[in-house]
């Protein structure tokens, strides 16, 4: 398995892995059931924003979304061709995805994703909500995306790679 998510109670748990595998537990992992993801692509991440709404992401830009706790998973259109390596959900419910190819995608509805223009494309490894309409992204190289917050679109600006404890960390701020 590649990723695990547990709700705040720790009772509801989902795990994703190779071959589009999604496993779910309602008893803190004592027993598991298989949920049908409708993909054979490897899944690398899973998260839920409520008891019913969740996403699973992975290889080849694969995104699956559920609005019923995983009883059914449907395809979301990302326009990301590479493996999705990380995701975050922002305060207003927007979903942000990053892929290995250095692309960033944003969705206001959790289903349709638009690419956020960047000044250059470099490999990415993670994304997080940095607050105040900003994102923090990490990767092996420095990264300078270019999109300012307009309405609900997060601001990505002047990210600078900095070495920290043997890894790369990236800070972002709105210019």
pLDDT-based confidence at residue 141 (cuts at 50, 70, 90): low
E strands, the chain, are 3-6, 13-16, 22-25, 33-35, 43-48, 54-58, 63-66, 74-75, 84-89, 95-99, 104-107, 114-115, 126-131, 134-138, 146-147, 156-157, 160-164, 167-171
Reading the block at residue 46, the tokens are 């899973």
**Cα(106)–Cα(114) distance, rounded to whole angstroms?**
5
Question: Does the model's pTM come out above 0.85?
Answer: no
Q: What is the mean pLDDT of the chain?
A: 80
Asked if residues 76 and 84 have their Cβ atoms less than 8 Å apart, the reply is: no
Query: Could you identify the residue written with the tokens 């800070």?
Result: 171
Higher-confidence residue of 141 and 134: namely: 134
Q: Would you call 90 exposed, middle or buried from its count of C-beta atoms within 10 A (0-12, 13-18, 19+)?
A: middle
Amino acid 122: pLDDT: 80
Amino acid 130: pLDDT: 82
Sheet of 104-107, strand order: 84-89, 95-99, 104-107, 114-115
For 64-123, the pLDDT digits (tens) are 999 999 999 999 988 888 899 888 888 788 899 999 988 999 999 888 999 988 776 788
Share of residues in the chain with pLDDT > 90 (%): 49
Which is nearest to 131 in space by CA: 151, 107, 155?
Answer: 155
For 4-44, the pLDDT digits (tens) are 999 999 999 999 999 999 999 999 999 999 999 999 999 99
Q: Is the pLDDT of residue 168 over 50?
A: no
């Amino acid at each position: 398995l590649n990723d695990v998510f547990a709700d705040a109670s720790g009772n509801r748990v989902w795990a994703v892995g190779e071959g589009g595998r999604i496993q779910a537990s309602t008893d803190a992992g004592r027993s598991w059931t298989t949920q049908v993801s409708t993909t054979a692509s490897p899944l690398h991440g899973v998260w839920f924003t409520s008891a019913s709404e969740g996403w699973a992401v992975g290889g080849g830009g694969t995104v699956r979304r559920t609005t019923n706790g995983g009883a059914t998973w449907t395809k979301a259109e990302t326009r990301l061709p590479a493996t999705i390596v990380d995701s975050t959900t922002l305060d207003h419910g927007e979903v942000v995805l990053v892929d290995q190819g250095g692309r960033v995608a944003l969705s206001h509805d959790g289903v349709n994703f638009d690419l956020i223009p960047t000044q250059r494309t470099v490999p990415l490894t993670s994304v997080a909500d940095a607050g105040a309409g900003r994102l923090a992204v990490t990767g092996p190289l420095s990264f300078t995306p270019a999109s300012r917050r307009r309405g609900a679109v997060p601001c990505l600006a002047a990210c600078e790679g900095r070495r920290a404890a043997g890894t790369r960390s990236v800070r972002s701020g709105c210019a």
